[in-house]
Structure 1
Amino acid sequence: MASDGLGEPLVIRFGLINADNKYLTAEAFGFKINASATSMKKKQVWTLDKADETGDSSAVFIRSHLGRYLATDKDGNVTADTEKPGADSRFLVIAHDDGRWSLQSEPHARYLGGTEDRIVCFAQSISPAEKWSVHLAVHPQVNIYSVARKRYAHLSVERNELAIDRDVPWGVNALLTLVYLDRRYHLQTADNRFLASNGTLAVKPDTSTGFTLEFRAGKSGKSARLGKDELFVLEQSHGQVVLHCKQPTGTCPRTYIDRVDLSANQDEESDQEVFQMEMDRETKRCAFRSCSGKYWSLTPNGAVQCTASMNLRLPSRPVMGKYLAAKKNGQLLLLLLAAGEQEDFVLKLINRPLIVLRGEARLQSVAATNSVAASLSLSIIPNISHSVFSDSLGKYWTVEANGAVVSSSGAPVYFNFEFCDYNKVAIKTLEGNYLKGDQAGVLKANAQGIANATLWEY
């Protein structure tokens, strides 16, 4: 999906489920394909790529986890071993009212279907065997950008509606969660309500809040039924934070960093005190962006200002291990090589009222087993540099003697967050162990360092 918005469009990864509730699977051995898996793991994930960068066609390529492309010939033989997509790899996505998709070969006008190891693309019309349920394999918390209005969606508490009128997706009310129920997607707002088809917000999801996703290549769709007003871009939601001095400055008990002059001199939160964390994929260095679109930058004398444009957001010279400090007048600067009280800040993640952790081992969020719940509330404890997790029953995460993380404590148990990769966080206990998930979705605090298995997309 193309975007004229400020954020990065989501890479659309998904699983395809046939009429027998089995996932389309790409095997590593011989690049064979089948529909025999009952759950979505790495081999069941496919990526939607645009077939035409110019957007002149709605055709797409479908790429496996092995980097090979789905293709079919005129006789309906389906393969997934093509390194470079050609004409036989072009498919059209047809969305049905029941939320399912059909995939039609663009050059041969036949439909993809089949069961077990008999996957073919030969049907001239659509039957239940040629309909696939779509299970997104992306992090479900997103920002939504309107192509027509060139504005972002946000929850308007005053008007009690989901409005498309924000220049930037700022704050908790710009966060929307895609909830997959009964083959449809439901848009959940930050206050746990759901957008209904008549524009109202419902307390619980039902048939009126279920939507079908249709993905269009390019900036506009080529369909008689759709115009620009119906086109939206799903963008990744970066973590947004407020920072306040742990050691108060002046007379304020809690002093927030303000973007206007980038100094710690505010005693309440507003958009001016919210900064977006944008991690560089290669260097793992973090840039802080304000609601005006400017980035933190360093001056030659070590002062920190919020004046850099996007292409200058990473400092041209390393900070050499220096710490951010707040002077008594609130001015921010980098001076010391060792951290003391004036270098202590509390970072509060404000746009994840409900946090979903997506790990490497499983492409769903943390499994809802007898260990922990999949959807959790995240609380930042004021004046303490730790976080706690609680479930819908008010129980807190805790670590048992064998390292298993369970949701059973009646009192808060603190964890440390380490933001160390692109939109990912490592979670560490106060004893120094990192949380790690396994293939079964069981969560344990038994890792000694940061690795792919201990990083959680949030």
Structure 2
Amino acid sequence: MSSNGINKALKLQFGLINHESRYLTAEAFGFKVNALGTSMKKKQIWILEQGDQDGAAVFLRSHLGRYLASDIDGKMTCGAENTDPECRFLIVPQSDGRWALQSELHLRFFGGSADNLSCFAQTIGEPELWAVHLALHPQASLLSVARKRYAHLSDGEEEFSVDSDIPWGVDSLVTLVYLDGKYSLKTCDSRFLSNDGKLVKANTNATSYTLELKSGKLAFKDCAGKYLCPIGPTGTLRAGRCTKAGKDELFDLEESHPQVVFQGANKRFVSVKQGLSISANQDEETDLETFQMEINKERKKAMFRTKGGFYWTLVTHGEIQSTATEIEDNTMFDIEWQGRRVALKASNGKYVCTKKNGQLSAVSDAVGEDELFMLKLMNRPILILRGENGFVSHHKSNNTLDANRSIYDIFEMTFNDGAYQIKGVNGKFWYVSFNGPVCSDGEEPEDFFLEFLEHGRIGIKGSNGRYLRGDNGGSLTGDGTSVDASCLWEF
């Protein structure tokens, strides 16, 4: 749990790529493992679990919830339901960022190719080296373990500073860009962090880092073998002098919740500027008008948190105030998606309306003009989507989009009166073609509607009223009539 209690560190999920550029794969039949995967799909994703609190051992859990294990003869299986001694591995990082995995029990190294994998090598050779490809959604908040502060684009916008108590606003959004086994840190304005602390437009050797893990935390090593760390009073993020990662060089990636503003029927923004009461009475979009939207995993209801850490809550006579510090029934709201506008239903079963004085109250039995709000997403100027089968990216040979790729494309998103327009890497716009596929070569922008449906996942509805989904062939289509797993996207 982070220092502010809002976010949790993300579970480290990744693919392991061998010397033949094939992914380690966990098969459902017989709990066998091989290195035959050509891309990172569900079967190629592994979750890292720490062993003892202070120990170096780790466990690798497959998508089936079973653990990778090696017996005394080096035979590899992935059927263990519990973390037995044969499931304990040591990560031996190499200078190029690759890992060697050593059985803690038998002291042999894991490697091989195709169906011939074993953990019997006494020394590390090329077949025993694995490149690490993170499978997390790459947009996150970056927390310094030592300083307990978050990285954000500085006020002068010339550096990344690690001095924020909470990750608030678009400036705190970090995008990890993966290329050829290295990672770059991209800011919300599409610049890359160089090892000298400067922000630059081009992704070069100086902006590329190898990823290392230590006690479940991340370290970023630059091309000269030095590590990123916060330096000075403002915590300028740059490569320091250290050639070994200590506490100062360690970071957590934390989930970046959506942060939104609401505009009432009176065309004014909902705010906490006036104190405890929530009122639509402001003409600006500042931190006081921005709320973090957190979707409860079990009940799929929304909670809205202020920068000061207080939740919206229903109080007597239906009034909405920002006084709750804990999550309870009165802090949960149902969101009804109505195209360009949304309606909010409080725990008393009444809809939230904007009164004549701007005060928000849950007193309405039905949705009329006063119960409608425009919702605007503030901290996602760029969009990366991951569905149940992989990331969304441009098709290699035509103008359509794939929804099953292990490498993602980054799309630009602009707001338009309750809707969003999405621009591809070629500067052209997304649109839903007449026969279903989503295309990315539009000359004119088309509106799409984001619906925050589950924790960390959205549905996207096209102008045709249908949801975008990943079909069985791996294409992105705009023909979903209802929301199921194929229509939900990490964003």
- Give the structure-1-normalised TM-score: 0.92
Deviation of 1:74 after TM superposition, in Å, equals: 2.5
Deviation of 1:188 after TM superposition, in Å, equals: 0.4
Residue number in structure 1 paired with 2:352: 324
Q: Distance in 2 between matches of 1:367 and 1:118?
A: 34
Corresponding residue SS for 2:136: coil
Residue number in structure 2 paired with 1:251: none
Deviation of 1:363 after TM superposition, in Å, equals: 2.3
Q: Deviations over 1:19-68 (max 9, x none)?
A: 0001111111101111011111111111111112xx21121110011111
Corresponding residue SS for 2:79: strand
Q: Distance in 1 between matches of 2:327 and 2:300?
A: 17
Residue number in structure 1 paired with 2:311: 295
Q: Is 2:401 the counterpart of 1:372?
A: yes
Which of 104, 121, 136 pairs up with 1:123?
A: 121
Which of 432, 438, 458 pairs up with 2:465?
A: 432
Does the 8 A contact of 1:112 with 1:130 survive in 2? yes
Q: Deviations over 1:198-245 (max 9, x none)?
A: 222121111111112222336899x99332101111101111111112
Q: Distance in 1 between matches of 2:426 and 2:271?
A: 34
Corresponding residue SS for 2:370: helix
Residue number in structure 1 paired with 2:231: none
Distance 1:57 1:365, change over 3 A: farther
Does the 8 A contact of 1:51 with 1:59 survive in 2? yes
Q: Which moved more, 1:307-316 or 1:33-42?
A: 307-316
Residue number in structure 2 paired with 1:258: 272
Residue number in structure 2 paired with 1:281: 297
Structure 1 segment 194-343 matched on structure 2, within 5 A: 194-217=192-215, 225-248=244-267, 254-258=268-272, 260=275, 261-312=277-328, 315=331, 319-343=347-371
Residue number in structure 1 paired with 2:180: 182
Residue number in structure 2 paired with 1:17: 17
Q: Deviations over 1:116-161 (max 9, x none)?
A: 1111111222111111111111110000111111110001141510
Corresponding residue SS for 1:20: coil
Corresponding residue SS for 1:310: coil
Corresponding residue SS for 2:288: helix
Q: Is 2:383 the counterpart of 1:355?
A: yes
Q: Deviations over 1:403-458 (max 9, x none)?
A: 11101222221122111111111111233211111354311111110111101111
Structure 1 segment 66-81 matched on structure 2, within 5 A: 66-81=64-79
Corresponding residue SS for 2:143: strand
Aligned length: 446
Q: Distance in 1 between matches of 2:426 and 2:329?
A: 42
> Which has the higher relative contact order, 1 or 2, with Cα contacts under 8 A spaced 6 or more apart?
1
Deviation of 1:282 after TM superposition, in Å, equals: 0.6
Q: Distance in 1 between matches of 2:310 and 2:331?
A: 13
Q: Distance in 2 between matches of 1:71 and 1:329?
A: 65
Distance 1:187 1:444, change over 3 A: same
What is the root-mean-square deviation of aligned Cα atoms in Å? 2.2
- Give the structure-2-normalised TM-score: 0.86
Q: Distance in 1 between matches of 2:387 and 2:216?
A: 30
Residue number in structure 1 paired with 2:342: none
Q: Is 2:57 the counterpart of 1:43?
A: no
Q: Distance in 2 between matches of 1:405 and 1:48?
A: 35
Q: Distance in 2 between matches of 1:50 and 1:106?
A: 13
Q: Distance in 2 between matches of 1:151 and 1:25?
A: 37
Q: Distance in 2 between matches of 1:214 and 1:301?
A: 54
Which of 134, 149, 152 pairs up with 1:151?
A: 149
Does the 8 A contact of 1:50 with 1:218 survive in 2? yes
